[in-house]
Structure 1
């Protein structure tokens, strides 16, 4: 699929129109199609009006029911994949206000129960000290106090025992000297403390031995329904089940290289001591 950010919004309306046209050309009613695909008539109506973005599996079922074939199938499946992808650039988020972005993340965290975070180069806000959070948005103009407060407030979700969190961080993400030595030592000590929360697993991938993998991005997977992939200028929001499953599989592979529990805390403690010694010079 060719990625064109400006096409993502338009693809939803294109897909809705194409699905509606295909059904009418086949001479079928929404009720007939709903029954054939084991869906509600309301769902078919919402798909055709653009109110609901269908999952790829829904589109496949509809195409099969309507007897579609050839290039038209490939075109509609391509539209469906694009419609299930969203692009959020950093500049738009900053114009709207980063505190609003924090509210969006909080709603997503509230509606999910199983979280997988893979951090390639930095520590996520849910695991960050207030000093680390402030440093992460230091280049944003204006008063950042509201955003910092909201980020720290969101960390309370880690204590919700109905949810399960797994964080995997590379050694680079943990040890990158984003703060002065004393701040980094405190950040690593905080990671070790959070790792003791019963429903939170924190793993670190040390840069030693042989790791036949080459991760390209930081990403998060929410349950089995959504994955977010970070880039230098924004984030891709992926809802197609094949994309989400691909990132879940990547996460599971990376977890085999990670150290959890006491082994993880031993690594964090050693690296924290290195930062502590640095401040003495």
Structure 2
């Protein structure tokens, strides 16, 4: 099955309809299918009505229970992958407004308990000083006033001790000259100060540190339910459990390579002093 990036995330209803039709053709009731899949009947019903997005594991269980032929398995599995992957191109994000994006992120942060951020090339808005936030959006052709306000407002979530945050930044992300050297030093000082928050862990990976894999993109993991991957053209949203576990494993590898606590603060102080000199 071939598809355009814009189709990703838009096939949920088609998947629901196809699974419902396959069940009916197999002559099974929702109750009997649920029993074969070791699922609740209500879950099967929500999947078939498009109210719940099934994972690839859910879909595989259903297809096995229906004894679907290989060609059908391949087609439905591809559709399930599309339904669990969403592409948001930069043009669409700009059309909706950068402020709208901040509202979406705020909602994600509100509904999550443990958030993990791997930052490859820049400091994220949650950790940024006001000057850094303004500079990071300076290239945008749209009005960024709401986005700047939204980014700064979102920082309050860091002080919600019912939530846990782990940030891992490469040296490149910390030292990339988004702002002037003095402003960058202030940004580094802010990172160091935030390491004292009891629910926030900030790690840094100095240049030359071996890592288990070679990082390609900035990404964020929300609990074990969703991953967002940032690219220069837009962002990918992954919801399939196996994709999420893969990124959790990658993040864990970077954690082992990063400096935390006093070692991280010492490295940030060293980089900050270099900026000021």
CA distance in 2, matches of 1:213, 1:39: 37
Residue 129 (structure 1) shift: 0.5
Number of the residue aligned with 1:41: 41
Number of matched pairs? 277
> What is the TM-score of this pair, normalised by structure 2?
0.94
Number of the residue aligned with 2:114: 114
CA distance in 1, matches of 2:143, 2:62: 50
Report SS of the residue matched to 2:8. helix
Report SS of the residue matched to 2:88. strand
Report SS of the residue matched to 1:253. helix
Matches within 5 A, 1:10-89: 10-89=10-89
Q: 1:185 to 1:10 in 2, by over 3 A?
A: closer
Structure 1 segments unaligned to the other structure (5+ residues): none
The answer as to whether partners of 2:114 and 2:222 remain within 8 angstroms in 1 is yes
Report SS of the residue matched to 2:131. helix
1:241 partnered with 2:241: yes
CA distance in 2, matches of 1:2, 1:138: 37
Report SS of the residue matched to 1:179. coil
Residue 263 (structure 1) shift: 0.5
Number of the residue aligned with 2:131: 131
The answer as to whether partners of 2:16 and 2:47 remain within 8 angstroms in 1 is yes
Q: CA RMSD, aligned part only?
A: 1.7
Residue 212 (structure 1) shift: 5.1
Number of the residue aligned with 1:197: 197
Residue 38 (structure 1) shift: 3.6
Residue 136 (structure 1) shift: 1.2
Of 115-124 and 25-34, more deviation after overlay is shown by 25-34
CA distance in 1, matches of 2:151, 2:2: 34
Residue 31 (structure 1) shift: 2.5
CA distance in 2, matches of 1:209, 1:230: 23
Residue 49 (structure 1) shift: 2.9
Q: 1:65 to 1:138 in 2, by over 3 A?
A: same
CA distance in 1, matches of 2:126, 2:199: 14
Of 190-199 and 88-97, more deviation after overlay is shown by 88-97
Structure 2 segments unaligned to the other structure (5+ residues): none
Residue 142 (structure 1) shift: 4.5
Q: 1:2 to 1:227 in 2, by over 3 A?
A: farther
CA distance in 1, matches of 2:59, 2:211: 38
> What is the TM-score of this pair, normalised by structure 1?
0.93
Residue 175 (structure 1) shift: 0.6
Q: 1:111 to 1:17 in 2, by over 3 A?
A: same
Matches within 5 A, 1:108-257: 108-211=108-211, 213-257=213-257
